[in-house]
């Protein structure tokens, strides 16, 4: 392309950081290159952007459009050290504002950081140095419990050691998969009735069969570790505690669906998970668990590239993630075509959540019959729940599908003065105290008019300002809308404005009419799930919780 | 509406629109088979962006409404274009747009608003808007983003669909998303080559000729007093069609027919703006 670039030049530090980060000269290197510049000096200067554009042959206006899409990138110079303080749901009810006030460094008010069990949360980021959490670690509540399945290795094996992983059963699933053959693996996963754990509960076997059956090559695999739904942190716990399982499960999925390349897309605010996964991928590659002829299987080739997100909830949407990886703005694509037909780089692609893939390892080691014996006939296996809010022992809990919400809350220490539970996340809905005997299954949640979503169980007791909590939900959707379609881009703003008037009692009865009208058009006419669900929680607060606004 | 013929014989498929059986060639969109569905981001020379959501229709079996401008017809599809649900959606989309954006120069929008009873003032006087000063940074055309509905058409025309100049892109996110050059540089410092192909496709008047902008500002813009004459550009041998819009013996803007098989409405700086020098006013 004959492009016009800028006159600005990068500093030596910026240029060195960008050049070191590039592993190719394609457009898909744009996001890693922007990260390199921002990580090195704390912001993206004209000179840095221009250098990236020259190296990758990307028009500056487009690169600017991509860089300004992500909230972790600053286009203005700012202090080298910034503290991202989470002001989202779980932290809000646990003293986030006091934590903001207590900072002496430059504060960035952040949406959910995905460490809700340690609320209020803050992540310090220093240019040229790295990131660290400012809260102490807390152990997994159920650590070492013999009943654990998905979490059985978390906090027990060394997450940096492949040998420990293998000694604890690692890579037996892949061995079994190679013996079964791709079709056999898909049959097991289908018969186990595994449903996606990323929020949409789509049958995994069907998705895999549809991709495997596409005659074109290549096929791509994307492991969705963007985990940005407020109140969700289960994938982080899996990635930090059992990173080799993520690598093995991706390898199994790739084998079944005919992918030679996989992308692990992890949100940008997960420094520890990122470093442990990078290590796991490297070690697995060295030891023949990635690359050519994996585990001695002639002709089976697969490798994984990690991509860091940069602060955009929408990039967890299954088509936005493709645009983000390809170096475009993380805007969802219109479906059809579906990812299994035309996904990453236009090729057939499987997208699966981290927890979904973790279940595949269990299915292949114990068999689909044994797997199905856990849970209910429609919701098979066990489920990770992210318990947070005003509760004694927040954390990720694993229970079989069918356990009740009350049992789960009791495991986490119980709530004497329960006001409500937000189930499923900002895109989910509220339950009242008299509804907590709900069995936690996909089907029971659905017939109760709600969803398990990504496993969020956010507890609100009598101390919580429910109006303020709802306003934060509205603010989250306003901030995270990609801006592509009118119902969501403007609707989320109008929703927040109307809710503001209602909560602050400065409006009139028309505001409720407005909310319902806006909610309906967002649900009916938005392009993607973000806009379609942006009104769910607020609607349920009004209709189910009877919140008198 | 005419069905664009791509030259190859195509299989025909049948579907139902508002109770009527219709036959279209395979690959046709719902919109191409329907009359009078309002559109804003759809462009007859561009790939559908399906962003504005004005054209939504009901398709039986679909959980949500469906953008008629981009959804391809499938055999047996049952489509409804005028139901309580589609009208509610259209009313809300137009109200939302009208509450945030200056639609005063968007053709036909007031008629569509009246049809569905849209009232953008419902959101109150404090509703956030995209109001901002117009960007007048070059002698040829003006970017008045208070009128921008973010339809992506200018970006697509400037980028790989036509011009390949890539001077502008969507920047920012959500309600802050906007059309911008890199670091909001003024157009003369950007990659813009002043082909005006973005003005050609802009559905709202956010992009307009400097002459039109000035005339609107001083109250002398009068479309009813204008004539449009299509002629052939004489600057080079390509032979692009130009449509000269003339008011009071003065060329006030230049468009180009979209159905021209050579240019599809696109021109270069000479055809689009060369008359300014010729006219010497
Ligand atoms: C706005 C939005 C954000 C999403 N974020 C995530 C995410 O962070 N992680 C995830 O696994 N799925 C997310 N999803 C769901 C994905 O689109 C997709 O359904 C899922 O990754 C498929 O994997 P699964 O079948 O294994 O659940 C999101 C969906 C939407 C609409
Ligand atoms: S619904 Fe919202 S997030 Fe999804 S495409 Fe539309 S504007 Fe973007
Ligand atoms: S005038 Fe041409 S080059 Fe300039 S922004 Fe418009 S389409 Fe792009
Ligand atoms: S300037 Fe015009 S063409 Fe460009 S996005 Fe805005 S309304 Fe659409
Ligand atoms: S015209 Fe169909 S979405 Fe805009």
Please list, in sequence order, all residues whose beta carbon lies within 8 angstroms of the beta carbon of residue A300, skipping any fewer than 6 positions away: A178, A255, A293, A294
Select from B237, B52, B35 the least CA-distant residue to A485. B52
Structural domain for A37, as ranges: 12-67
Banded model confidence at residue A507, pLDDT cuts 50, 70, 90: confident
Cross-chain Cβ contact B56/A489 below 8 Å = no
Closest residue in A to B177 (Cα–Cα) = A483
Distances (CA, A) of A120 to A88, A105, A137, A366, A389: 9, 17, 13, 39, 10
pLDDT of residue A337: 96
Task: Tell me the per-residue pLDDT of A423-457, one tens digit each, with 9 for 90 and over.
Answer: 999 989 999 999 999 999 999 999 998 999 999 99
Q: What is the mean pLDDT of residues A392-405?
A: 98
Residue A42 lies in a domain: yes
Residue B16, min C-alpha distance to chain A (Å): 20
Bridge partner list, A458: A388, A422
Atom of ligand 1 nearest to the CA of A195: 25
The residues with which B246 forms a beta bridge, in sequence order, are: B227, B251
**Reported confidence tier of residue B4, pLDDT bands at 50, 70, 90:** low
SS (H, E, C) A150-175: CCCCCCCCCCCCHHHHHHCCCCHHHH
**Tokens linked to B129:** 């808007």
Report chain B's terminal Cα–Cα distance, integer Å.
40
Does A41 have pLDDT greater than 90?
A: yes
Q: What is the pLDDT of residues A171-196, one digit of tens each?
A: 999 999 999 999 999 999 999 999 99
The answer to whether residues A17 and A34 belong to one domain is: yes
Q: Does residue B1 surpass a pLDDT of 50? A: no
**Spatial CA neighbour of A302 closest among A346, A353, A248:** A248
Is the Cβ–Cβ distance between B179 and B168 less than 8 Å?
Answer: yes
CATH assignment of the domain containing A449: 3.10.20.600
Last residue within a domain, chosen from A429, A461, A493: A461
Structure-block tokens of residue B7? 């030259």
Answer yes or no: is pLDDT of A363 > 60. Answer: yes
Query: Is residue A93 domain-shared with residue A232, that is, in the same domain?
Result: no
The reply to whether A146 falls in a domain is: no
- A109 bridge partner residues: A85
Is the domain of A335 the same as that of A475? no
- Residues A210-248 pLDDT 10s: 999 999 999 999 999 999 999 999 999 999 999 999 999
| HSE-up of residue B79 (Cα within 13 Å, Cβ side) | 29
In tens, the pLDDT along A87-104 reads 999 999 999 999 999 999
Residues of B whose CB is below 8 A from A515? none
The verdict on A456 and A476 lying in the same domain is: no
Tell me if B173 and A68 make a contact (CB, 8 A cut-off): yes
- Is A282 a domain residue? yes
Same domain, A270 and A358: yes
Residue A400 backbone dihedrals phi, psi, to 5 degrees: -65, 145
Range from A25-29, A273-277, A505-509 carrying the lowest mean pLDDT: A505-509
Looking at the structure, tell me whether residues A210 and A274 fall in a common domain. Answer: yes
> Which residues in B lie closer than 8 A to residue A51 (C-beta atoms)?
none
The phi, psi pair for A139, rounded to 5°, reads -70, 160
Is a pLDDT exceeding 80 seen at residue B3?
A: no
User: Over 60: is that where the pLDDT of A10 sits?
Assistant: yes
Residue A234 burial (C-beta neighbours within 10 Å; 0-12, 13-18, 19+): buried
User: What is the distance between the alpha carbons of residues B253 and B272, in angstroms, rounded to a whole number?
Assistant: 8
B231 touches chain A (CB under 8 A): no
From chain B residues 138-157, the ones with a CB under 8 A of any chain A CB are 149-150
Residue finishing a domain among A430, A446, A461: A461
- CA angle A25-B156-A27, nearest 5°? 10
The whole-number average pLDDT for the span B121-138 is 97
CA distance A85 to chain B (A): 21
Residue A377 lies in a domain: no
pLDDT of the residue at B217: 96
Q: Are the beta carbons of A470 and A502 closer than 8 angstroms?
A: no
pLDDT band for A539, please (50, 70, 90 cuts): very high
Which residue has 């069969």 as its token pair? A209
Question: By the 8 A CB rule, do A484 and A65 touch?
Answer: no
For residue A125, the cross-strand partners are A82, A131
The answer to whether residue A237 is domain-embedded is yes
Three-state DSSP class for residue A389: strand
Count of domains observed in chain A: 5
Q: Are residues A347 and A260 in the same domain?
A: yes
Spatial distance between the Cα atoms of B201 and B53, rounded to a whole number of angstroms: 18
Residue B281 binned pLDDT confidence (cut-offs 50, 70, 90)? very low
Give the tens place of pLDDT for each residue, B17-46.
Answer: 999 999 999 999 999 999 889 999 999 999
CB of A461 within 8 Å of a chain B CB? The answer is no
Distance B89 CA to ligand 2 centre (A): 16
- Return the structure tokens found at B136: 């007048």
Identify the CATH number of the domain in which residue A108 sits: 3.40.30.10
Q: What CATH number is attached to the domain comprising A287?
A: 3.40.50.11540
Q: Give the pLDDT confidence of A275-298 residue by residue, as tens digits.
A: 999 999 999 999 999 999 999 999
Q: A81 and A47 in contact (C-beta within 8 Å)?
A: no
CATH code assigned at A497: 1.20.1440.230
Contacts of A312 in chain B (CB under 8 A): 173
- Residues A360 and A499 reside in one and the same domain: no
Across the range A311-318, mean pLDDT stands at: 98
Structure-token pair, residue A369:
């019959």
CB contact under 8 A, A497 and B164: no
Instruction: Out of A133, A151, A172, pick the residue that ends a domain.
Output: A133
Residue A413: inside a domain, yes or no? Answer: yes
Residue A152 lies inside a defined structural domain of this protein: no
Q: With a cut of 70, say whether residue B277 has pLDDT above it.
A: no
**How far does the centroid of ligand 4 lie from the alpha carbon of residue B150, in Å?**
5
Please tell me whether residues A509 and A399 are part of one structural domain.
Answer: no
What is the model's pLDDT at position B279? 64
**C-beta separation of B274 from B238 below 8 A:** no
Tell me the pLDDT tens digit for each residue of B204-230. 999 999 999 999 999 999 999 999 999
CA distance B123 to chain A (A): 7
Q: Which domains does chain B have, with CATH numbers?
A: 85-123 (no CATH), 132-280 (3.30.70.20)
The per-residue DSSP string of A203-244 comes to BHHHHHHHHHT--SS-EEEEEEE---STT--HHHHHHHH-HH
Same domain, yes or no: A311 and A430:
no
User: Which of A65, A446, A478 to probe the B interface (max B CBs under 10 A)?
Assistant: A65
The answer to whether position A3 is within a domain reads no
A236 and A331 inside one domain: yes
Asked if A362 and A334 sit in the same domain, the reply is: yes
Q: Which chain B residues in 74-103 lie under 8 Å from chain A, judged by CB atoms?
A: 85, 88-89, 92-93, 96-97, 99-100
């Amino acid at each position: 392309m004959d492009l016009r670039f800028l006159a600005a030049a990068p500093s030596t530090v910026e240029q060195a950081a960008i050049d070191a980060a590039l592993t190719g000269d394609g457009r898909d290197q744009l996001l890693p290159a922007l990260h390199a510049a921002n990580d090195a000096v704390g912001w993206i200067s004209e000179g840095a952007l221009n250098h990236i554009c020259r190296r990758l042959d990307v028009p500056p206006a487009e690169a600017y459009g991509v860089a300004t899409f992500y909230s972790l990138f600053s286009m203005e110079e700012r202090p080298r050290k910034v503290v991202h303080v989470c002001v989202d749901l779980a932290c809000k009810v646990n003293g986030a504002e006091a934590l903001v006030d207590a900072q002496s460094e430059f504060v960035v008010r952040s949406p959910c950081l995905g460490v809700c069990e340690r609320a209020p949360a803050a992540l310090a980021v220093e240019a040229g140095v790295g990131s660290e959490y400012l809260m102490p670690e807390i152990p997994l509540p159920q650590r070492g419990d013999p009943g654990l399945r998905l979490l059985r290795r978390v906090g027990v094996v060394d997450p940096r050691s492949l040998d420990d992983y293998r000694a604890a059963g690692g890579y037996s699933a892949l061995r079994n998969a190679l013996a079964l053959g791709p079709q056999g693996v898909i049959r097991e996963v289908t018969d186990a009735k595994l449903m996606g754990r990323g929020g949409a509960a789509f049958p995994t076997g069907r998705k895999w069969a549809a991709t495997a059956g596409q005659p074109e090559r290549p096929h791509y695999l994307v492991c969705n570790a963007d985990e940005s739904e407020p109140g969700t942190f289960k994938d982080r716990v899996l990635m930090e505690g059992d990173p080799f399982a993520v690598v093995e499960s991706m390898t199994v999925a790739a084998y079944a669906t005919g992918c030679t390349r996989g992308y692990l897309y992890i949100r940008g605010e997960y420094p520890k998970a990122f470093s442990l996964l990078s290590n796991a991928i490297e070690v697995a590659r060295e030891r023949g668990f990635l690359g050519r002829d994996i585990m001695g299987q002639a002709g089976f080739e697969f490798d994984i590239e990690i991509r860091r997100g940069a602060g955009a909830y929408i990039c967890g949407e299954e088509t936005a993630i493709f645009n983000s990886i390809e170096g475009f703005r993380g805007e969802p694509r219109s479906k059809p075509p579906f990812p299994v037909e035309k996904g990453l780089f236009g090729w057939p692609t499987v997208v699966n959540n981290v927890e979904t893939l973790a279940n595949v390892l269990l299915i292949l080691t114990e068999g689909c019959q044994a797997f199905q014996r856990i849970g209910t006939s429609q919701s098979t296996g066990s489920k990770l729940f992210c318990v947070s809010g005003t509760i004694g022992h927040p954390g990720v809990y694993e229970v079989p599908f069918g356990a009740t919400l009350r049992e789960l809350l009791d495991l986490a220490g119980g709530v004497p003065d329960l006001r409500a539970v937000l189930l499923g996340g900002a895109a989910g809905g509220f339950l009242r105290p008299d509804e907590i005997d709900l069995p936690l299954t996909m089907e029971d949640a659905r017939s109760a008019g709600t969803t398990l979503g990504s496993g969020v169980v956010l507890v609100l007791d009598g101390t919580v300002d429910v109006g303020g909590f709802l306003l934060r939900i509205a603010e989250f959707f306003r901030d995270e809308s990609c801006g592509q379609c009118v119902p969501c881009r403007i609707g989320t703003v109008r929703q927040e404005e109307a809710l503001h008037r209602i909560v602050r009692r400065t409006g009139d009865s028309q505001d409720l009419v407005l909310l319902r009208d806006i909610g309906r058009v967002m649900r009916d006419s938005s392009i993607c799930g973000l806009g379609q669900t942006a009104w769910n929680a607020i609607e349920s607060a009004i209709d189910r919780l009877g919140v008198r606004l | 509406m005419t069905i664009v013929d791509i030259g190859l014989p195509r299989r025909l498929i049948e579907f139902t629109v508002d109770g009527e059986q219709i036959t279209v060639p395979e690959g046709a969109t719902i919109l191409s088979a329907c009359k009078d569905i309002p559109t804003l981001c759809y462009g007859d020379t561009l790939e559908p962006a399906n962003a504005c959501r004005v054209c939504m229709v009901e398709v039986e079996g679909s959980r949500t409404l469906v953008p008629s401008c981009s959804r391809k017809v499938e055999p047996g599809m049952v489509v409804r274009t005028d139901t309580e649900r589609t009208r509610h959606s259209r009313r809300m989309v137009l109200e939302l747009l009208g509450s945030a954006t200056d639609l005063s120069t968007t053709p036909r929008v007031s008629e569509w608003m009246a049809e569905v009873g849209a009232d953008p003032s419902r959101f109150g006087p404090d509703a956030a808007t995209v109001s901002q000063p117009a960007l007048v940074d070059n002698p040829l055309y003006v970017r008045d983003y208070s009128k921008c509905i973010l339809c992506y058409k200018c970006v697509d025309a400037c980028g790989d669909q036509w011009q390949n100049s890539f001077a502008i892109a969507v920047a920012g996110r959500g309600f802050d998303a906007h059309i911008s050059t890199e670091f909001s540089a003024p157009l003369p410092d950007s990659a813009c080559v002043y082909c005006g192909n973005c003005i050609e496709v802009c559905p709202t008047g956010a992009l307009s000729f400097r002459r039109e902008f000035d005339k609107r500002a001083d109250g002398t813009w009068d479309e009813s007093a204008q004539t449009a004459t299509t002629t052939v550009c004489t600057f080079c041998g390509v032979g692009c069609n130009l449509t000269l819009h003339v008011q009071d013996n003065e060329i006030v803007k230049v468009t180009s027919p979209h159905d021209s098989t050579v240019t599809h409405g696109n021109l270069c700086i000479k055809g689009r703006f060369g008359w300014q020098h010729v006219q010497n006013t």
